Amino acid sequence: MEKIISEAAEKLKALDFKLTARREMTLRVLLENRDKHLSAEEVYNLVKLEAADVGLATVYRALELFQELGLIRAIDFGDGRKRYEYGIEDDSDLHHHHLICTKCGRIIEFNVDLINEIESRIKREHNFTMTSHQLKIFGICSECSGK
Residue 31, beta-bridge partner list: none
Tell me which stretch binds a second copy (CB under 8 A): 6-14, 18-26, 40-48, 123-131.
Answer: 123-131
Contact between 77 and DNA (CB under 7 A)?
Answer: no
Rounded Cα distance, 34 and 96, in Å: 12
- Residue 116 interacting entry, from DNA, a second copy, none, C-beta within 5 to 8 Å by type: none
Geometric angle at alpha carbon 79, from 83 and 65, rounded to 5°: 25
Contact between 61 and DNA (CB under 7 A)?
Answer: yes
Contact at 8 Å (CB) between 31 and 46? no
Per-residue x/- track, 19-58, DNA (CB under 7 A): -xxxx---------------xxx---------x-xxxxxx
Contact between 18 and DNA (CB under 7 A)?
Answer: yes
Could you tell me the smallest distance in angstroms from the CB atom of residue 52 to DNA? 9
Rounded Cα distance, 67 and 88, in Å: 10
